[in-house]
Amino acid sequence: MTHAIMDETFLTTEEVLEYLQVNLRTVYRLIKAGKLPAVRVGRQWRFRKADLDAWLDTQRPRGTRPAGEPAAAAGSAGPPRVLVADDEASIRELLGKTLALAEYHVDAVADGRSAIERLRADPYDLLIADLRMPGVDGLQLIREARRLSPVLKVIIITGYSSESAAIEAVNLGVNGYLTKPFRVAQVLSAVAKTLGDES
């Protein structure tokens, strides 16, 4: 039986990283979610090339989605959908790039009102919201987001760890928080933990 494992149609984890052009965390996330069939051989994973090709077919973009056009429903076979709401362009850009590289589908808006409009139009798995935004602030956004989708996960961004608004946000049942300035690793860890991608 071991001969089948040695067949060239099986790839090692390292070969998969190269073949799919994704990182290790993403591969483990896909295995755990049951989206990438894998065979355990001792302490190693082996992957059938045919399974990888089938998965790649599901990932190929079928034309980019114009803004305002509804996306696939949250919880569908696609990657988790994340909405970022922050009035600082640099923060939106950092979070957008970081999460896109980690295989999340990301939309970013500059204020709470726009975020509410997006939440009404499209289903999301996670909202990352700055507490201090002009107009509709983070707390108002979280309250409205919870009304629209009670199961939506929420991570707050704050500049002050002891800020009273942050305490109030925790009372609203947020799932995590990021304190500025934050590093890429902290973002990925908080998001993975919140979405249950990490044990």
Q: pLDDT class for 130, splitting at 50, 70, 90?
A: very high
For 1, 178, 197, the CA distances from 45, given in Å and listed in that order, are: 16, 33, 18
Q: Per the confidence metrics, is the pTM higher than 0.85? A: no
> Residue 29's closest CA among 119, 89, 104, 81?
104
| pLDDT of amino acid 166 | 66
- Mapped onto helix, strand or coil, the DSSP state of residue 154 is strand
With a CB cutoff of 8 Å and minimum separation 6, the contacts of 101 are: 23
* CA angle centred on 176, ends 171 and 181, rounded to 5°: 115
CATH match for 2-59 among 1.10.10, 3.90.105, 3.90.930, 3.30.70? 1.10.10
Q: What are phi and psi of 33, to 5 degrees?
A: -80, -5
| pLDDT of amino acid 54 | 74
- Domain residue ranges in the chain: 2-59, 81-195
Instruction: Specify the CATH number of the domain 81-195.
Output: 3.40.50.2300
**Backbone torsion region of residue 196, taken as left when φ is above 0, otherwise alpha when ψ lies between -120 and 50, otherwise beta:** left
Max CA separation in the chain (angstroms): 65
- Is a pLDDT exceeding 60 seen at residue 187? yes
Mean pLDDT, range 120-149, rounded to an integer: 92
- Is a pLDDT exceeding 60 seen at residue 66? no
**DSSP secondary structure code for residue 67 in this structure:** T
CATH topology match: 2-59 vs 81-195? no
| pLDDT of amino acid 73 | 41
Q: Determine if the peptide bond prior to 66 is cis (ω within 30°).
A: no
Q: Could you tell me whether strands 39-41 and 44-48 are parallel, antiparallel, or unpaired per DSSP bridges?
A: antiparallel
Percent of residues, the chain, with pLDDT higher than 70: 76
Q: How many residues does the chain have?
A: 199
